[in-house]
Structure 1
Amino acid sequence: MARSGHRSRYTRYDGGPDPLAPPVDLAEALDAIGEDVMAGYSPERAMQEFLRRGGRDQVGLDELARRIAQKRRELLQQHSLDGTMQEVKELLDRAVLNERKQLARDIDLDDTDRAFREMRLDSLPQSPAAAVSELSSYDWQSSDAREDYEKIRDLLGRELLDQRFAGMKQALEGATEEDRAAVQEMLGDLNELLEKHRLGEDTQEDFEEFMAKHGQYFPEDPQNITELLDALAQRAAAAQRMLNSMTPEQRAELMELSQQAFGSPELMQAMSRLDDNLRSLRPGEDWHGSQRFEGEEGLGLGDGTGVLQDLADLDELAEQVSQSYSGARLDDIDLDKVQRQLGDQAAIDARTLADLERALKETGYLRRSADGQLKLSPKAMRQLGKALLRDVANRLSGRQGQRDVRQSGAAGELSGATRPWAFGDTEPWDVTRSITNAVLRSSSEGRTGPGVRLTMEDIEVSETEARTQACVALLVDTSFSMAMDGRWVPMKRTALALHTLIRSRFRGDALQLISFGRAARVMEIEELTALDPRYDKGTNLHHGLLLANRHFRKHPNAQPVLLIVTDGEPTSHLEADGEVRFSYPPHPRTIALAVRELDNARRLGAQTTFFRLGEDPGLARFIDAMAGRVEGRVVAPELDDLGAAVVGSYLGSRKGGRGPVGEHMGDWFGGRGWWVG
């Protein structure tokens, strides 16, 4: 079979996000969002703040906004708008100088004629535009002078066309009369097409016929009349803004000079007609804006229009990056404009931010509630809790992974013995013994050949010792002093870490989270994590202990574990009628009621640990006395170590002060200066 002559070409992928790129890493984003949520931000605002700040290796929106503002500032400080005028003046001065030289050395010229010509050159107006107009009928004696003067007309024509059609200045350099006639014909056909479109009488065939004839003038390669209109109107509006940005004198000079373009008034008429059509069809473009240029590098009309378009792009990008308008999304950012204005890497950074935002919503980490607000999903809470638990494990063990237990949901501790599997067993298989049984059985049956066939009779399971279940009540102080002294977020981190540990490693344990401020209440972890700092006057430990004891009574066969995190003495209590009574300094009745409920917890068998935050001597004396009354412990951790202290205390309580954690609890606390009672 004959080989095909087709040859494959491999080019850079340009069809959207790289399909081979690794997925975005959400771990850092989730950690940062979770921290902000626990500090009181809404999940939506927390996500926006992360996208603004960026991460360790990820540029954020603020940095993109800074680059946009810097690029805009550089354009305005670098350029001025008199480039074409300067070039016209240079050509004019050179033409006049060459003409004077020619008059001086032309011996065949009549003296009267020479004097008349010199007088005419001497009396030229100061205005370059007026001088060019005055010399339009001058009979040049110098061929070099005539060439320079014609260059002025050619330059003006190419610059005016370049304002409306990018690249025309270079394309028409050295153009013939036939080339100029072709441009004039294109303008005529374009105006007819636009006027037909304005009346609603055009067709796609009309557009395609126009592009087949004049497509070389439109490098944007529009596919329909709408795309053509957009490209033309955006550049024409930028040209008008450039004109608006000039001084009145510059503007007057340019308008007068424009009449000399190509020495053809028909060109200006066609351009004026084009502007009228574009204004009518695209009134929403910015036709009235202006900019203040302060630099010294002169811009020609075409280049200046390009810079005005760049400024418009930068202004649009600044608005997109600000995300300050209703319904804003990072997908709104025009990546092509970012790449054009700030470079490839900036476009990659912007695309990654959009991917992050999309992934956070589409992968289920953020979900929108019935009221339209974004919330951290249970999946996000688990991910955040795992990160916090890893940090706790590092602080507990001093090295990564030591506390990463692999017995999730096990029924007890392994005893080292095994037994045959029976229906209903949930203990883990002893794989080594099971395979050995299969090999021995196969050998006794005389089986040969590769592989081992495992039957139910071969399977043995590892025996476990019964493991005591725990009933845990974590009481966290939510009075205003916790937020005022920077303890709000560490408190939430602690609760989430303990919640994650129990839900993932000790699922048989019953955890209840109880907040106590002026009053106490049972809270789900999502509610506590999103709780805003508040001015809650009162520390109602009495009410919190009441709820904890109710929780313990619901689980009579479990070991009660009472963990109390606070930074203040009790200043409120719950009366029999349900009313809250507040008193500062603490009223004796408030203290007595708190002590009574603590005694009740002891009678229920609770192992109690107080976590004292702050250095208040009165608080220290009170907590020492409370802990001593119930043979409890007192821990005074640094804020960064609060989570590790609470989790460590819980693990030690589960083992009754024995085992790997319990054996080292005293040394660990004492070594860090935490054991105070």
Structure 2
Amino acid sequence: MARHEREARYGRFTGGPDPLAPPLDLSEALDAVSEGVMAGYSPEQSMREFLRRGGRGQAGLDELAGRVQRRRRELLERHHLGGTLEEVAALLERALTAERGQLARDTRMDPMDRTLREMTIDTLPASPAAAVGELSDYDWASPEARDAYRRIQDLLGAEALDARFAGMKQALENATDADRAAVSEMLTDLTELLGKHSRGEDTPEDFRRFMDAHADAFPERPENIDELIDALAARAAAAQRMMRSMTPEQREELMALSRQAFGSPELMEQLGRLDGLLQTLRPGEDWDGSAEFEGDQGLGVSEGAAAMAELGHLDALAEQLAQGSAGSPLSELDLDAVARHLGGDAAVSLRTLARLEESMRESGYLSRRPDGDLRLSPAALRRLGGALLRDAARRLSGRTGSRDTRMSGAAGEQTGSSREWRFGDVESWDVPRTISNAISRVAADGGDPGSGIRLLPDDIEVRETEARTQAAVALLVDTSFSMAMEGRWVPMKRTALALHHLVGTRFRQDRLQLISFGRVAQTRTMEELLSLDPRYEMGTNLHHALLLAGRFFRRHPSMQPVLLVVTDGEPTAHLLGSGDPWFGYPPAPETLRATVDELDRVAGFGTQTTFFRLGHDPGLGRFLDALARRVGGTVVAPDVDDLGAAVVGRFLHARRGRPQSGDPWSAGGRWAV
């Protein structure tokens, strides 16, 4: 049989997403978003905060913005804009030194001529610009001096052109008169083209003819006149900002020198007309900005214009990063600009952040409501709830005197027999019967069990348990402002979500009601509680919360009622007969009496009650102790970080219907009062 081999070809990587990059891990981002949501922020705000801050080994938008500012500061602190003036001064000094030497050596020169020449160069103004101007008609005796002076004129012209046309300075090195004439012709044609465009008289053919004649002056290779104008206006605006950034003395000196560019003022006049047209066509460019350069490294005119252009790009990049922090999609940011100004690693970081943002939106962990707001999806709630429940179980297992909490076996007491597994069952597998079923199935199908078997759902049997009384669980959580002020807001929400996940996955026959109570009480869905913001309002209305819990228990008369109350303050509000809340501090007798009466009614259902006391308020401690003795309940005073484990532990033990020896939540346990 002929063997066919596929030929592989390799080439240089040409950009785009890294094909060897590891898959994105969304767990850290999801955890950050979830924590933000529980702290009262929206998922959108929480995701923005994560992208702004970054993750483990991942630069965030803040760090990238910091690099932008450091690069900007480096440009300003390292350079100044007098480079061209310094170079002109050095060339002028070289020319004058060479001329004096030539005059001293030339014995054949007429003495009167020599004297006049020496007087001319010895009485030059101190200003290089004025000196260059006075020497415009001077007949140099020294070829070296003449060459240096000509270099001054060429330098000024090349710098002025290079500030507006990329690469022009290098193109005009050792320029001939023909080269200068070609530049002048290009400027004339360009001014004419832009003038026609400003009047609406140009055609695409005009642009094509211009580019055919002068394409070498435009390495950007614009494809139409708008791209040409954009490139020219950006550079012209940078050159103008550079001039505005000079000191008044530098600016005056440079403008005077520029009139000597290529030995005549014609070039600067042409550039002035061109700049005026560009400013009319692109008024949105920054033509009036400036910056303060403070360094000791001089920049020439073209280099200064390039530095100003880079500063403009950095400012635009900083604004884009700020918009990304505020909510604009990161995919819209200019990765090429990031790589150009901050380096390739910064572009990789930004691309990764953009992928994280996109993946979070497409992962199913965030869902968009009809009003446009993002919310944690049910999948995200399940994932987060599972993580919180595992953390609670770990804390339970690690407590002194406690036992390992095996929540997976909490569905009932085993009878010794087994049955087929059904979807939703939480009982332990009967492993020998399950394996035996799989072996029998494989053998019946003619397979060889010795070569390995694969379990199918129909093979699974679980250990049968006796039915257990269903529970109606009311979790009452204090949402008064003190909970947020004392750092208990997020632990409260984590606790509720852990219990919600436990009931929803391991005790599906039970019912859980979440009730928040501040100035008034309210039943909440898990999503509503997670997105609840702290609000500054006076009142801890446990009376209203107990009233809602009683209504919940009455709706489930066949279930065992379990009451779990999380609070950090004594009751300071109760409902009046009109249904309006009444507040008083310190706690008024009427409020305490209404709260106790409502607790008695709830206890009348045979409710197993646990109070979770947060903080160290002795008044609250005495009050909750009295309530617990009154209804045969328990008071638990966990650290705030252990609140989730405490609530889950008490629920499990109430669910079993009896405390266990060594239980840290039972009377005499570590956290029981």
TM-score by length of 2: 0.88
CA pair 404-231 structure 1, distance change in 2 beyond 3 A:
farther
Measure, in 2, the Cα distance between the counterparts of 1:303 and 1:320. Answer: 25
Corresponding residue for 2:547?
A: 546
Tell me the alpha carbon deviations over residues 517-561 of structure 1, each in whole angstroms, 9 at most, x when there is no partner.
233221112222222223343333232222222222222333222
The Cα shift of 1:266 comes to 4.1
The Cα shift of 1:23 comes to 4.7
Residue 175 of structure 2 aligns to a residue in which SS? coil
Measure, in 2, the Cα distance between the counterparts of 1:437 and 1:628. Answer: 59
Tell me the alpha carbon deviations over residues 418-453 of structure 1, each in whole angstroms, 9 at most, x when there is no partner.
35799999987953121233356568xxx9999999
Where in structure 2 are the equivalents of 1:167-186 lying within 5 Å? 167-186=167-186
Corresponding residue for 1:434?
A: 437
Measure, in 2, the Cα distance between the counterparts of 1:159 and 1:489. Answer: 62
* Alpha carbons 1:438, 1:453 under 8 Å: kept: no
Corresponding residue for 1:112?
A: 112
CA pair 568-425 structure 1, distance change in 2 beyond 3 A:
closer
The Cα shift of 1:597 comes to 3.5
Of stretches 570-579 and 54-63 in structure 1, the one that deviates more from structure 2 is: 570-579
Measure, in 2, the Cα distance between the counterparts of 1:240 and 1:188. Answer: 21
CA pair 607-307 structure 1, distance change in 2 beyond 3 A:
same
* One-letter amino acid of the structure 2 residue matched with residue 92 of structure 1: L
CA pair 209-598 structure 1, distance change in 2 beyond 3 A:
same
* One-letter amino acid of the structure 2 residue matched with residue 435 of structure 1: A
Tell me the alpha carbon deviations over residues 8-38 of structure 1, each in whole angstroms, 9 at most, x when there is no partner.
77233324x4455445433223323332333
Measure, in 2, the Cα distance between the counterparts of 1:363 and 1:455. Answer: 30
* One-letter amino acid of the structure 1 residue matched with residue 663 of structure 2: M
Corresponding residue for 1:648?
A: 649
Measure, in 1, the Cα distance between the counterparts of 2:460 and 2:497. Answer: 38
Corresponding residue for 1:675?
A: 672
Corresponding residue for 2:663?
A: 665
CA pair 267-484 structure 1, distance change in 2 beyond 3 A:
closer
* One-letter amino acid of the structure 2 residue matched with residue 397 of structure 1: S
The Cα shift of 1:158 comes to 1.3
Corresponding residue for 2:517?
A: 516
Corresponding residue for 1:342?
A: 342
Of stretches 507-516 and 45-54 in structure 1, the one that deviates more from structure 2 is: 45-54
CA pair 450-263 structure 1, distance change in 2 beyond 3 A:
same
* Alpha carbons 2:637, 2:671 under 8 Å: kept: yes
Of stretches 64-73 and 325-334 in structure 1, the one that deviates more from structure 2 is: 325-334
Measure, in 1, the Cα distance between the counterparts of 2:455 and 2:45. Answer: 57
Measure, in 1, the Cα distance between the counterparts of 2:515 and 2:153. Answer: 85
Percent identical residues: 59
Aligned length: 659
Corresponding residue for 1:562?
A: 563
Residue 514 of structure 2 aligns to a residue in which SS? strand
CA pair 376-423 structure 1, distance change in 2 beyond 3 A:
closer
Corresponding residue for 1:595?
A: 596
Corresponding residue for 2:323?
A: 323
* Alpha carbons 2:95, 2:144 under 8 Å: kept: yes
Corresponding residue for 1:245?
A: 245
* Alpha carbons 1:39, 1:532 under 8 Å: kept: yes
* One-letter amino acid of the structure 1 residue matched with residue 634 of structure 2: R
Corresponding residue for 1:4?
A: none
Corresponding residue for 2:15?
A: 14
Measure, in 1, the Cα distance between the counterparts of 2:424 and 2:636. Answer: 43
* Alpha carbons 1:494, 1:643 under 8 Å: kept: yes
Of stretches 79-88 and 502-511 in structure 1, the one that deviates more from structure 2 is: 502-511
CA pair 389-13 structure 1, distance change in 2 beyond 3 A:
farther
The Cα shift of 1:312 comes to 0.7
Q: Which runs of 5+ in 2 are unaligned?
A: 1-7
CA pair 501-210 structure 1, distance change in 2 beyond 3 A:
farther
Residue 473 of structure 2 aligns to a residue in which SS? strand
The Cα shift of 1:332 comes to 4.2
* Alpha carbons 1:474, 1:495 under 8 Å: kept: yes
The Cα shift of 1:589 comes to 4.7
The Cα shift of 1:646 comes to 0.6
Residue 14 of structure 2 aligns to a residue in which SS? coil
Residue 665 of structure 1 aligns to a residue in which SS? coil
The Cα shift of 1:137 comes to 1.8
* One-letter amino acid of the structure 2 residue matched with residue 539 of structure 1: T
Of stretches 244-253 and 596-605 in structure 1, the one that deviates more from structure 2 is: 596-605
The Cα shift of 1:214 comes to 3.1
CA pair 521-419 structure 1, distance change in 2 beyond 3 A:
closer
* Alpha carbons 1:133, 1:260 under 8 Å: kept: yes
Of stretches 21-30 and 616-625 in structure 1, the one that deviates more from structure 2 is: 21-30
Residue 292 of structure 1 aligns to a residue in which SS? coil
2:632 maps to 1:634: no
Measure, in 1, the Cα distance between the counterparts of 2:473 and 2:336. Answer: 56
Where in structure 2 are the equivalents of 1:187-586 lying within 5 Å? 187-323=187-323, 328-398=328-398, 417-419=417-419, 430-438=433-441, 441=444, 461-468=461-468, 469-586=470-587
CA pair 433-602 structure 1, distance change in 2 beyond 3 A:
farther
TM-score by length of 1: 0.87
Tell me the alpha carbon deviations over residues 55-97 of structure 1, each in whole angstroms, 9 at most, x when there is no partner.
3323222222222222222222221111101101110111011
* One-letter amino acid of the structure 1 residue matched with residue 565 of structure 2: I
